[in-house]
Amino acid sequence: MMGINNNESKIINGKNYSRDFLTHISDLAQKFENLLNRKPCLAVILIGDNNASKIYVKNKILTAKDTNIKSIEILLSKNTSECDLLNEIYRLNNEEKVDGILVQLPLPNHIQLEKVVNSISPKKDVDGFHPQNFGNLMLGNDTVVPCTPLGCWYMLKKELNDLTGYHALVIGRSNIVGKPMQSLLIKENCTVTIAHSKSKRLAEISKKADIIIAAIGRPEFITREFIKSNSVIIDVGINRNDKKLVGDVKFEDALKIAKKVTPVPGGVGPMTIACLMYNTVKLAYRRNNQMFKEILY
Ligand code: GUN
């Protein structure tokens, strides 16, 4: 019994954090509706029939509904041309009552990610992927922060409060997670190391880190020899292993050695969706020249 309780106190409950946060966002969305006579509105575009993407989009739509946010789901066939997708985005850019636009990734191979990301109006860029928003994040300016790194940041702040001076290791250098995460951690006065699949002696580096953000995309890659005692581990990985969902971290090892760890599922995933709702409401206020008192970022 004792062991179980001890383990439970080590688990960072992303589901609980997201629930609290969404309650707050829902209130903000309701206030927006009182002011503007309409709900904040998020448009989600899904191209093709990738099963994982379909599940993510469904979760986003359901969460929006529960959060006083209107959503528009646009389903396009996997053969949709790049030109037709860009035209759809332009239409949504010019739609007065659409506050946020999200194009679910990954895209089919015949569509260039860069063109899609650049075509979304920075004012409606709920993912924070547009070069203008991304650049502002790198500069430490006010911006829209990509949802997954923002969710990781949120949980770290709740768990540790002041991150000053900690050695944070980000494993993964993607534009969606690794690079924006680096900026957020630098702003928190962390000493930041970025590692990736080509890094040599990763276990050695990792063993020195106070905070690990694991976003490598390899199931249960981070095992005991990577983990320093008393560290805090945020597992961004979502890997399907024989129908079971596992992260990039070997959870049992992390539970034994680390101070705190996020589970998969129930860690970063729910926080990512909550942050998408946050970004939608924030952009809705901004676009409509309403005061948005920053409750987060
Ligand atoms: N696919 C996986 N993660 C993301 C994300 O953060 N945003 C979008 N648009 N698609 C994704």
Q: What is the pTM of this model?
A: 0.97
Token pair recorded at residue 88: 């759809």
Write out the DSSP string of 136-152: HHHTT-S-PPPHHHHHH
Q: How confident is the model at residue 294 (pLDDT cuts 50, 70, 90)?
A: confident
Mean pLDDT of 111-120: 98
Residues that are catalytic: 60, 104, 127
Q: Is residue 209 scored above 50 in pLDDT?
A: yes
CA-closest candidate to residue 162, choices 192, 185, 183:
185
pLDDT confidence of residue 241: 81
Q: What is the pLDDT of residues 118-174, one digit of tens each?
A: 999 999 999 999 999 999 999 999 999 999 999 999 999 999 999 999 999 999 999
Going from the Cα of 181 to the center of ligand 1, the distance in angstroms, rounded, reads: 15
> Residue ranges per domain, the chain?
38-126, 145-269
Residue whose CB lies within 8 A of the most ligand 1 atoms, among 58, 127, 236, for a mutation test: 127
Q: Is residue 4 scored above 70 in pLDDT?
A: no
Mean pLDDT of 254-271: 98
Quickly name the fold that domain 145-269 has. Rossmann fold (3.40.50)
Q: What is the pLDDT of residues 232-245, one digit of tens each?
A: 999 999 998 888 99
38-126 and 145-269 share one fold: yes
Q: Is residue 1 scored above 80 in pLDDT?
A: no
Task: Point out which residues pair with 167 in neighbouring strands.
Answer: 191
Token pair recorded at residue 224: 């005991």
CA-closest candidate to residue 243, choices 269, 219, 222, 277:
219
Is the domain 38-126 a CATH 3.90.180.10 member?
A: no
Going from the Cα of 44 to the center of ligand 1, the distance in angstroms, rounded, reads: 11
Q: What is the pLDDT of residues 53-67, one digit of tens each?
A: 999 999 999 999 999
pLDDT confidence of residue 291: 87
Over the chain, what is the mean pLDDT? 96
Atom of ligand 1 nearest to the CA of 147: 6
Q: Is residue 77 scored above 90 in pLDDT?
A: yes
pLDDT confidence of residue 32: 97
CA-closest candidate to residue 135, choices 87, 102, 183:
183
